[in-house]
Structure 1
Amino acid sequence: MATKSVDLLKVNIDTPRWDQTTFVGRLKHFFNITDPRTVVVSEEELDRAKIVVESCRAGTVPPGTSLEQLYYAKKLYDSAFHPDTGDKMNLIGRMSFQVPGGMAITGCMLQFYRTIPAVVFWQWVNQSFNALVNYTNRNAASPITVTQIGVAYLTATSTALATAVGLNLYTKRAPPLIARWVPFAAVAAANCVNIPMMRQQEILNGIAVTDENDNRLGYSRKAAVKGIAQVVISRIAMAAPGMILLPILMEKLEKFPFMKRIQFLHAPLQVMLAGGFLLFMVPVACALFPQQCSIAVVNLEPELRDSIVAKYGDKVPYVYFNKGL
């Protein structure tokens, strides 16, 4: 037991288990922390996992803890606690809830796309869900006011509704498959608005950047723009395969006689299929870019760049920051 304790104390609990400089390493990491099974873990077990992680950071390990138990505690911690604040995130906003929450909303958006009231309702539900996810996974070092949250929510919801309703009316005479793709267009357009608006403080005031040893060097607006742009791309990529390929699949399936007899099962079927896509696309999309993003010092704002160069010379070629999810 003593040998195990010594070995565990050598584990850097804040370093991901897999190499984050490679896509495969990031994919394994995000498959781990976006595991939807962690959603049903009890609050008590999550709190115990936090105690284990914080104990390890402090240089102690609870007696009897194995290496796998330590990694499992870190998995639960990463899935439920914010990386910046250490506070427990609300359940619906966690990335591990993207599969159960996203599959229900995506499936219904793809199924109920024919009437304007249905389009309005499901786009509103989706943007409400997205707003909560974006707020929960923001970079917490840049606070946002209730007013700014409200403006971001209303702007994104209005963009989604305008896109969805406008395209819905425009595609009335288009082939049925084109109309089925309207929800994805609305989701993509809204993501381009929702995420930057929800994280506007980072764009206005900059995001905290550090050197490779985690020493804070200042705040950068350019770093914020880069990080938020990557999050927007990831979110659109997360939705794209399911919302583009699933309509094609349903278009083919609905031509079969047996599918015409079970129309009441079309919505549950789309929900399940959407879940299948999201189960893989949530970690894939999160893994597209490193969580700890970097930007070259030469590409920073002149005042910040000059400050870093004056203090460190050429010893700090890159700065690092948490881009959020």
Structure 2
Amino acid sequence: MSTCFFSALFPISGPLVVASLLPHSTVKPALFWQFLLQSYSAGFNYANRNSSSEQGYNISLKQLLLITGTVSYTTCAGALPQIFINRLGLRSSAVQTFFRSILPIPLSATLAFFNVLTVRSEESETGIQVFDHNGNPVGVSKAAGEKAVWETALSRAALFGMTATVPNLLVLLMKRPFQRNSLLVAPLRHISTALVLGLMIPVSFSLFPQLGTIKREQLEEELQAAAVGRHLFYHRGL
């Protein structure tokens, strides 16, 4: 299963993540690569949602506006480090190090979390299908939908947060040894970013099981009455 996740996510997201984490010289390329990354992430999150409660396959206007707003917001937020450097004219080496190497770490994790949380918010609002241990449908639960979305958001935050952490910290640690040959910094950043992303994809998707469980007492009252056993099950989505 993790091989399928890797083949679906890595070939496109890999180059986009590498490009979005580069120390750009101007704001425009930072916005461009962030737009591509956040658009692909939003599309991937929406395509791999749990749609068990949806009546049709057509995307609603509300969902379309939500996805558009999410991509717009995360694109601008993702480019904030470069915007601060350029617009404020920051020249201090220590300040630039903070905005280029430190700030992108929590920012990448937060934006990945936010992307899932907003794009798949409909699951929390309308609920998803829950099953008993025999696979029989019990009903649609908002509590299960909220749990599924939060678990997925946390796993995506771990994926992009760790992918930003290791290369940036590695570049910081190797900054002094590479002072005489700064051309080695870029290959080190590119290779380490792609390597960590590739390793973290199966890890992040394995943080929570695809077939999630929820306790009977956490369900809505009407579902508790119909439930058999202490736990019910739901499909989390990717």
Q: TM-score, normalised by structure 2?
A: 0.83
Query: Within 2, Cα distance between the matches of 1:146 and 1:270?
Result: 40
The CA deviation at 1:211 is: 0.4
- Does the Cα contact within 8 Å between 2:168 and 2:189 map onto a contact in 1? no
* Residue equivalent to 1:71: none
Query: Within 1, Cα distance between the matches of 2:23 and 2:29?
Result: 6
- Does the Cα contact within 8 Å between 1:204 and 1:221 map onto a contact in 2? yes
* Residue equivalent to 1:140: 51
Supply the AA of the counterpart residue of 1:181: I
Structure 1, unaligned runs of 5 or more = 1-28, 36-95, 310-314
* Residue equivalent to 2:201: 282
Match of 2:125 among 204, 220, 241: 204
Relative to 1, partners in 2 of residues 1:109 and 1:277: Cα closer, same or farther, differing over 3 Å? same
User: Structure 2 matches for 1:199-238, cutoff 5 A?
Assistant: 199-238=120-159
* Residue equivalent to 1:158: 72
Relative to 1, partners in 2 of residues 1:251 and 1:258: Cα closer, same or farther, differing over 3 Å? same
Query: Within 2, Cα distance between the matches of 1:318 and 1:252?
Result: 47
Query: Within 2, Cα distance between the matches of 1:139 and 1:270?
Result: 35
The CA deviation at 1:304 is: 2.0
The CA deviation at 1:169 is: 4.7
Query: Within 2, Cα distance between the matches of 1:129 and 1:216?
Result: 32
Query: Within 2, Cα distance between the matches of 1:135 and 1:272?
Result: 29
Query: Within 2, Cα distance between the matches of 1:181 and 1:100?
Result: 26
Are positions 1:295 and 2:227 aligned together?
no
* Residue equivalent to 1:111: 22
Supply the AA of the counterpart residue of 2:230: P
Q: Which has the higher contact order (CA 8 A, sep 6+)?
A: 2
The CA deviation at 1:316 is: 1.9
Relative to 1, partners in 2 of residues 1:245 and 1:254: Cα closer, same or farther, differing over 3 Å? same
Structure 1 vs Structure 2 CA RMSD: 2.5
The CA deviation at 1:113 is: 4.1
Match of 1:178 among 89, 98, 104: 98
Greater C-alpha Rg: 1
Query: Within 2, Cα distance between the matches of 1:318 and 1:106?
Result: 38
Supply the AA of the counterpart residue of 1:118: P
1:112-169 deviation line (CA, Å, top 9, x unaligned) = 3453222211111111110121122111324462524422322222332343344545
The CA deviation at 1:296 is: 0.8
Are positions 1:322 and 2:227 aligned together?
no
Query: Within 2, Cα distance between the matches of 1:148 and 1:185?
Result: 29
Match of 1:98 among 9, 12, 29: 9
The CA deviation at 1:222 is: 0.5
- Does the Cα contact within 8 Å between 1:210 and 1:218 map onto a contact in 2? yes
* Residue equivalent to 1:259: 181
Query: Within 2, Cα distance between the matches of 1:105 and 1:184?
Result: 16
* Residue equivalent to 2:114: 193
Relative to 1, partners in 2 of residues 1:259 and 1:34: Cα closer, same or farther, differing over 3 Å? farther
* Residue equivalent to 2:161: 240
Q: TM-score, normalised by structure 1?
A: 0.63
Query: Within 2, Cα distance between the matches of 1:238 and 1:177?
Result: 23
Relative to 1, partners in 2 of residues 1:151 and 1:187: Cα closer, same or farther, differing over 3 Å? farther
Structure 2, unaligned runs of 5 or more = none
SS at match of 1:213: coil
Instruction: Give the fraction of aligned pairs with identical amino acids, expressed as a percent.
Output: 24
